[in-house]
Chain A
Amino acid sequence: MSATVNAGKKAATYVDDRFASANFFKRSLGKVFPDHWSFMLGEIALYSFIVILLSGTFLTFWFKPSMVEVIYDGSYAPLKGVEMSEAYASTLDISFDIRGGLLMRQIHHWAALFFVAAISVHLLRVFFTGAFRKPREFNWLIGVGLLTLALVAGFAGYSLPDDLLSGTGLRIAQGIMLSIPLVGTYLSWFVFGGEFPGTDIISRLYAVHILLVPGIILALVTAHLIMVWYQKHTQYPGPGRTNENVVGYRLMPIYMAKAGGFFFAVFGITTLVAGLVTINPIWAYGPYTPDQVTAGSQPDWYIGWLEGALRLMPNVETVIFGFTISWNIFIPAAVVPGLVFTAMALYPWFESWVTGDTKEHHILDRPRNNPTRTGIGVMALTFYILLWIGGGNDLIARFFDVSVNAITWFLRIGIFVLPPIAFVITKRICLSLQRRDREKLLHGRETGQILRLPHGEFIEIHGPISVEERAVLLSKPEVEPLALPPTEDANGVKNKKAGRNRLRSRLSNWFYGDNIPLPTPEELAAADAHLAHEIEQTTPVLDEATALRVGTPGVIADEGVLHDDPKLVAAARDAARTIEAERGENKS
């Protein structure tokens, strides 16, 4: 042991002589990170990406990104002798003739699905808790960029094996390119090296897939993590947590073990899934040919919403001055996603402009405490889910035995009607949760114990809330809508910006308007005193009552606090007998 310690010391000295790294290590290893399950979502994304890099590198050793036609002569009997591209043939080889090749392919594909899923849920966590607020707006922006690139990487990878499904996906992508006004035809001509499908696209996508996009993702992930490190992680409100501190565990040893272990857990689970569940069985689809298609084919899940948008759009096309514009394709496949991603990217600046909030925020919001933001989020999510359902309208039609037309029309209307409804409902739920929080502070926790008073009235007994909960509830941030600006200043000069500020103030009132404020300190003190009094009064009654069994008429008691004082128990039994006798009389 001491030999290893000595060797370690020597190595550390060697490094420090050259880099003066001791201080850096001291600070880094002792760095504190807060702990919460929702902070693992970003970790899952990161670890899936590492798994993707490892498995993808494996695949490159055998995959041939070539569209040259070859005759297949591998182990998969049903396709022996069939003409296909070298890309497809080499993917079959990876699947059937390279030991562990199928496993690596399936690890790669599953990890890609988990990657996009983890990024998406991580993004929702960041949105609904307001973690994107100052000073973290740029990390939000990087996150939106990462999501976009993940979709591109996934689509490019899905297209590489050149099977029937991936070729059909590329055909759709080319059709979408063509719909871009003015430059679309050129774009397609350049991307495909001439007509569709040509013989260049697979090798070009290959460079994009294994070098360009992963390289940018890697750079952005690095920047993302450096920012988290430098600005320190946000934390949820709670006892001891303030906007000026970080409460949690040190990197060494807790997060070394936990995060390191979690990487292995993610990698292990992905591998298990890849061993047990088939994904993208390209041999079943056959090689790509532009004149065949399989019914009911579905893209990977993260493309579903775009597919849905394409399906729902009414068929509008116009010819202006002899130029053709396919609104039916351009709007759902280019304009809608463009707007969605732009809105997402700019949201932090929108919110801080509306609210006039320029403070640093290191304590996360509970979603209920910002009902408008939460409502906007649920509204966007509803929109996304409706599009996603649209992407599977044929499957749904078959499954529920309704017509595709009916579903399509329902969604065409629903896409405009349901999101605003979701907004209103969410906002209301948030506000009633806020109200309940306030109730809790003022009247304590409902114990679930109901007591019948001697004169027959039933009351529910309240208990004090825990220190943790009290800290969380009392951390509810104060919000102030912006005041209406004066239209003229003290000297009677017209305020030129008044119009814009008026709009901003209206928006801010809309944003914060219905907030349920915390009780004032005086109200809370009075409530605390009242609760203490109530507890003092009810405790003896309750002690007696809980000695009775649950179910005894008039008393519903929590068995957890049964007393073992024999005298009390005897008294309680007597009381119960009397009550039962009474009940007997009542019945007869």
Chain B
Amino acid sequence: MTDNSPTPQSSSAAETGTDVVARNQGHDIPGLPPHRPRQTDIDPRAAKRAERQVALMFLASALMTVLFVIAFVQIPTTDTWPVPFFNATINASNTALGVTFGLAIFFIGAGAIQWAKKLMPDKEVVQLRHPLKSTQQERDEAAEVFWDGADESGFGQRKIIRRSLLLAMGLFPIPLVVMLRDLAPGPLDLGVLKETLWEEGSRIVTDPLERPVRPADVPIGGVVSAMPANLTEVQHEEGNLNARAKAAIILVRMAPEDIQSQQGEGWDYQGILAFSKICTHVGCPIALYQQRTHHLLCPCHQSTFDLSDSGNVVFGPAARALPQLPITVDEEGFLIARSDFDQPVGPSFWERDR
């Protein structure tokens, strides 16, 4: 630590007020002006008043703590209170606890600050700084101690020790990194990343009610969130949401003459088109469909896809069209997939096009 001891000499010099303390570009910079007493310094009644104020705040804090305990015991967590002027309610317990506890803490702070401002001395004190660098002699001595030690260790001369130590030191963190290997369950499985649950004949069911869909259930202009029929089962089997994160689709229907292009010939079924619901930008589920323009908008960063034109991007940061799922109906007349997507769904990745 540096020498921070209070230096009474230096403070008294500044107190005289007009002393020149420094020069800048030939100008004298005036010293500290004389201390101006506060009301509480000269009027004992003002000081007394401030004292009472401070004590009152501390007492208010104590009272609030008592109220907090009462509120904690008395108010159930599910009670609500109406908010005046707003047509709303608030959680009674949270409000009561927050206000009492908050004030209990705040008044301690306010009291202490008031105390410091009004009653503790406010005369400024001057302390000197010391240059932060050491003297040349100190530096030389430090260097000498270091080099003496280094020489004694023989680190410089004993080459074989030095090199083998460096080798050992260089290698020893490797296990720490190697052990991170099992953060991942196995080697990177590109197949898994590129496939979804959809396969030939997968029945399309609505999400979340899981009803099979007949073409007639999707009116022109309509939009339906959907998923493969076995999704919930697989999800429970695997105990995770991985399949859901890839298989979610959206069904829309438009007049067949409105369809300008598709990713595959005849991938629609009577104007019903199925697209991945996972945005090709960074993977948000897409939700907002404008039936007049056939545009599908991602709420995350506003990428906009034209579903009547192969799901191509018309605006926003996404770079690729939404993958289209080829569909048809089975013999019972329910919509089914004709295959999996012909490309990975969701955000791009380095190996995506390999």
Contact = CB atoms under 8 A, between A and B. Distances in A.
A429 B185 CA distance: 60
B50 interface: no
Contacts of B32: 239-240, 247
Interface in B110-135: 110-113, 115-117, 120-122, 124-129, 131-132
Contacts of A448: none
Interface in A463-481: 467-468, 470-471, 474-478
Nearest to B298: A293
A414 interface: no
A300 to B, nearest CB: 15
Given A30-B4, A97-B77, A182 B27 contact: no
B225 A248 contact: no
Contacts of B22: 242-244, 475
What are the nearest 4 A-B pairs in CB distance?
A275-B98, A175-B282, A268-B106, A264-B109
A447 interface: no
Nearest to B188: A189
A267 B33 contact: no
B316 to A, nearest CB: 7
A540 interface: no
A163 to B, nearest CB: 14
Given A186-B188, A195-B193, A323 B354 contact: yes
29 contacts: A24-B1, A96-B77, A178-B349, A179-B347, A185-B193, A185-B351, A186-B184, A189-B184, A190-B184, A193-B184, A239-B32, A239-B33, A240-B126, A245-B10, A246-B128, A271-B98, A272-B99, A276-B90, A276-B95, A290-B245, A291-B248, A291-B277, A312-B317, A315-B317, A315-B319, A316-B319, A322-B354, A360-B131, A467-B33
Contacts of A492: none
A315 B317 CA distance: 4
B274 interface: no
Contacts of A185: 188, 190, 193, 349-351
Interface residues of A, number: 133
Nearest to B249: A291
A269 interface: yes
B266 interface: no
Contacts of B77: 75, 96-99, 101-102
Contacts of B267: none
Given A268-B102, A268-B106, A323-B353, A69 B239 contact: yes
Interface of B: 1-6, 10, 14, 18, 21-22, 24-33, 72, 77-78, 90-91, 93-99, 101-113, 115-117, 120-122, 124-129, 131-132, 180, 183-186, 188-190, 192-193, 207, 225, 227, 236, 239-242, 244-245, 248, 277-278, 281-288, 299-303, 313, 315-320, 346-354
Contacts of A189: 184, 188
Given A269-B102, A291-B227, A324-B350, A257 B120 contact: yes
Contacts of B245: 171, 195-197, 290-291
Nearest to A186: B188
A481 to B, nearest CB: 16
Interface in A224-260: 230-232, 239-250, 253-254, 257-258, 260
A524 B193 contact: no
A174 interface: yes
B185 A194 contact: yes
Contact of A264 (B105, B125, B286): B105
Contact of B30 (A288, A471, A518): A471
Contacts of B313: 315
Contacts of A32: 6, 125-127
Q: Which of A106, A200, A268, A332 has the most CB of B within 10 A?
A: A268
A271 B107 CA distance: 12
